[in-house]
Structure 1
Amino acid sequence: MARELKSEALARELREQMDSGQLPPGAPLPTTAELRERQYSTSTIQTAVAILRREGRIESRQGARPRVLPRRAIIARSASYVTADQEGRRATWKQQLAELGMVGDQMLGRVGEVAAPDDVAALLGVETGDSVMCRPRVMLADGEPVQLADSYYPLDLASGSPLALQGPIRGGVYRVLAEAGLEPGDCEEDLTFPQPTAEEQERLRIGPDVCIVRMVRALWTTTGRPVAVEVMVLRADRHRLTYRMPAQ
C-alpha cells in the first residue's frame, strides 16, 4: 500500500474535524502558523488546502482564511425543468431550492443580441457568429454563486417577445412558445467536465482548481424546430444531478 503523503494526512485530519463538528460550516481553518506548529511545512499546508478545495469542503477567497462549506447538495432533477405538472406548471429555481431548505435567487446579466458560439449555433441551426438572443444569469444558493445559466434563442422567436426584455419572464420560454403557438418537444442534455475559464471563475467567484460540470441543454418543438439552448456551468461540489429515464 502506498505511503500517505503529509499533505494527504493533513487533509484527512482536517476533513475528520469537519465531519466531527470540531470545524463546523463557516468556521475558518487553522492558520498557517498554527499548522506549522504541528510540524507541517508551508508547501504541505498549501497542498492540503488545495485538496480540500477541490473536494468542495472549503471556500477560499483572496485575503481571507479558508472557511468550511456546508455539505448540502443542490439536487437537480432535470426532468422537472422541462416537464410540467398536472396543472401545467414547471418548477422554478427558487421553488426547487426552497424544497432543499435553501434560498434560491438569480442575477440577470445584460440581455441582448450576441454572436452565436460554435456549439450554440450548431444546435440552433444557424451559422457560427450569427446573432442570437442571450439571457445570461448567475444562479445563487443562499447568496452564493453556484451555477451559470446562459440561455440562447433564435432572433425570429425572441425579438419583440418577453425573451428580449431586461427582466424576469413569467412562465419562461414555455409561455413564449405557447403564445407563439409552438409546442415544446424533445430536450437533450450534453455534459462535459472542463476546467473553468477565467470568465467562469470570475462569475462564480471560484479558483481554477474548482471542478465544474458544463451542461448544454437544447430544446426543440414537436415539429423539430430548435428554439432554445441553455449553457450551464455547475459547481461540481454543490450539485448532484438526478435523471429518470422513461421505459419507452
Structure 2
Amino acid sequence: MLDDTEVSRVLVVTAHPDDVDFGASGTIAGWVDAGVEVTYCVITDGDAGGFDPAVPRSEIPRIRRAEQVAAAAATGVTDVRFLGYRDGELTVTHGLRRDISRVIRQVRPQRMLIQTPERNWERIPASHPDHMAAGEAAIQAVYPDARNPFAHPSLLDDEGLDAWSVQEVWVMGHPTRTHYVDVTDTFARKIEALRAHESQTAHMPDLEGFVRGWGAGLAAEAGFPDGRLAEGFFISVMPG
C-alpha cells in the first residue's frame, strides 16, 4: 500500500454525480488538504435522477453537472470531467474502457478510487447496476488497458497519450473493507458536498444524521475511539 506522501495525483471514477460524495468525499478532502491533485471522472450525467416532477427532464443533466462541480469545490477538487453516458443504461463496453483509459493517461494518477463491481447483498443500493458497471470498466481500464501501449491504439497514435500504470486502487462500497480513514475533521465538508446535490438530497429530512450514523458505524468497525467518523475501502495494489 502506498504511503500518502508517495501520491501526488488521484483519479476518481464514478457512475453518477453524488456517488463520490456519499462514499469518499471526507477522505478526498483530506487528500486535497495534504496537497494531492484529485480529478473526478463522472461517467453519466445522472439524467435518470431527481425527485421533483416539475423540473423538465431535459434540464436534469445540466443541473446535476453543476451540482457535482459545486460539491467538488466543497472538498477542494476543481478538475471534474464528465463522459456523458446515459444514466441507467451503463454497461461495460470497449468504448467505455477506452474513455476511462484516456482519462487515466491524461491524469497519470498513482492512485485511483473506483466503485465496486461486486454486488453487496447487505446493501443493495450500493449495488446499483451503473455502479457495478462503472467499477468493472474502471478496473479493466486500470488493468490491462491504460498500461498497455497496444490497447486502444488510437489513444497513442491519434492523441499522443502514452501508456500509464496505476499503482494502487481504492474501492468504495466494497462488501469487504480492508482500510478505514478517519474523516471526523473533514465531515463538515462532506455534508456541504452532499447538500450541493440539492436535486438528490433536499428531500432527506436528516441528511447529516443519516451520514453521521453511517460514519460512526464504520469508525466503530475500524476500532476508532468513540465520537470519531470514518469511511471504509478495499485496497488493491496493482502489479508492477
TM-score by length of 2: 0.25
Q: Looking at CA atoms only, which structure, 1 or 2, has the larger radius of gyration?
A: 1
Q: Which has the higher helix share?
A: 2
Structure-1-length-normalised TM-score: 0.24
Higher share of residues assigned strand: 1
